[in-house]
């Protein structure tokens, strides 16, 4: 019987079950696995499932039985792909499972920042509204996104899905290709500086690579409109966090929403945690991908990857 282990099941949610994986072999489930525990836990297993646990030459060398690594993610940066290739270890990822979830979270972040629901909810529940002399309260003005320009950085699968919703709200769409290779005749392609200058809303849906690392620095953020909202749902490291804190403190941009950070969990001394006007910044702990439906799709796709491997017809093979 094939032996399967999951190294960081806690990252998939305690509300998930792994019955599909249990049907494929003997399953060992670990909530979290620290770097010093990896080698011992993967030893004797045929299939290793990892979300963010690093698998490299030092720990894989201790487990010669491993023939398949299943990533509970799309990205492969935590796997030594060259070593896996040398040892003929197959690596499979999962793509596309989280698109609806990320799109939904993109707009949740936007409207939280734009319409200040936390402030207005508090205004009512602290009974200030009960003492008002008028029927409404306009302390936090907001603007419509209809007719505004939405700039997309990274027009891949998720970016295109965000665009379709933005268009339904009546937005004008422009995009910047971080690789320079993505050309889409349906939307206007512009250089980064033009996108920053023209956009009222900017959302990032790009991977972290040599083209995107530190893409948005203080000098770039200065190009944005004073009311513009910046959303990063791509990867931490694309936006320089110290520079973003400075831009927010100097009121160079209207607001920012981040679901991804350079270090996850966030470091306690991160300047974003102490900006002058915290209501201008929304940070969520890398949850855009994680609707219940998306996590169920993810586990199902992992099961299909393992099943395909066992049947000699692998799916989503990276290596």
**Residue 139's pLDDT is what?**
96
Instruction: Quick: pLDDT tens for 240-265.
Output: 999 999 999 999 999 999 999 999 99
Q: Are residues 8 and 138 in the same domain?
A: no
Q: Are residues 264 and 176 in the same domain?
A: yes
Both tokens of residue 98? 């989280």
List the beta bridge partners of residue 255: 229
Q: Are residues 195 and 221 in the same domain?
A: yes
Q: Are residues 255 and 208 in the same domain?
A: yes
Q: Are residues 155 and 217 in the same domain?
A: yes
- Residues of the chain with confidence (pLDDT) below 70: none
Q: What are the residue numbers of the active site? A: 235, 264, 286
| CATH number for the domain that contains residue 177 | 3.40.50.720
On whether residue 276 sits in a domain, the answer given is yes
Element (H, E) at 28: strand 26-29
On whether residue 318 sits in a domain, the answer given is no
Beta carbons within 8 Å of 289's beta carbon, 6+ residues apart? 98, 101, 102
- Could you tell me if 80 and 274 are in contact, meaning their C-beta atoms sit under 8 angstroms apart? no
Q: Are residues 157 and 278 in the same domain?
A: yes
On whether residue 209 sits in a domain, the answer given is yes
Range of the domain at 187: 99-283
**Residue 110's pLDDT is what?**
98
On whether residue 48 sits in a domain, the answer given is yes
On whether residue 109 sits in a domain, the answer given is yes
Instruction: Quick: pLDDT tens for 211-237.
Output: 999 999 999 999 999 999 999 999 999
Q: Are residues 194 and 113 in the same domain?
A: yes
Q: What CA–CA distance (Å, rounded) separates 256 from 72?
A: 28
On whether residue 108 sits in a domain, the answer given is yes
On whether residue 141 sits in a domain, the answer given is yes
């Amino acid at each position: 019987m094939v032996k399967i282990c999951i190294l960081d099941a806690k990252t998939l949610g305690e509300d998930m079950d792994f019955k599909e994986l249990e049907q494929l072999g003997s399953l060992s489930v670990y909530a979290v696995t620290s770097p010093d525990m990896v080698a011992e836990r993967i030893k004797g297993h045929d299939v290793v499932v990892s979300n963010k646990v690093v698998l490299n030459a030092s720990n894989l060398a201790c487990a010669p039985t491993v023939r398949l690594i299943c990533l509970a993610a799309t990205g492969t940066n935590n796997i030594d792909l060259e070593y896996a290739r040398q040892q003929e270890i197959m690596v499979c990822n999962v793509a596309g499972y989280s698109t609806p979830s990320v799109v939904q979270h993109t707009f949740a972040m936007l409207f939280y920042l734009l319409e200040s629901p936390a402030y207005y909810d508090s205004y009512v529940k602290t009974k200030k509204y009960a003492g008002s002399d008028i029927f409404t309260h306009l302390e936090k003005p907001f603007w419509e996104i209809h007719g505004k320009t939405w700039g997309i950085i990274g027009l891949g699968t998720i970016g295109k899905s965000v665009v379709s919703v933005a268009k339904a709200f009546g937005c004008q769409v422009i995009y910047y290709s971080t690789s320079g290779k993505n050309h889409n005749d349906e939307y206007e392609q512009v250089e980064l500086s033009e996108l920053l200058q023209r956009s009222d809303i900017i959302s990032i849906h790009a991977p972290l690579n040599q083209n995107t690392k530190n893409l948005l620095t203080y000098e770039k953020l200065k190009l944005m409109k004073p009311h513009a909202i910046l959303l990063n749902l791509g990867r931490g490291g694309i936006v320089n966090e110290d520079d973003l804190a400075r831009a927010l403190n100097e009121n160079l941009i209207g607001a920012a929403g981040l679901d991804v950070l350079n270090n996850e969990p966030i470091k306690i001394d991160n300047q974003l945690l102490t900006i002058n006007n915290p209501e201008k910044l929304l940070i969520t702990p890398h949850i855009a991908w994680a609707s219940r439906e998306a996590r169920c799709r993810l586990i199902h796709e992992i099961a299909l990857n393992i099943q395909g491997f066992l049947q000699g017809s692998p799916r989503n093979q990276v290596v």
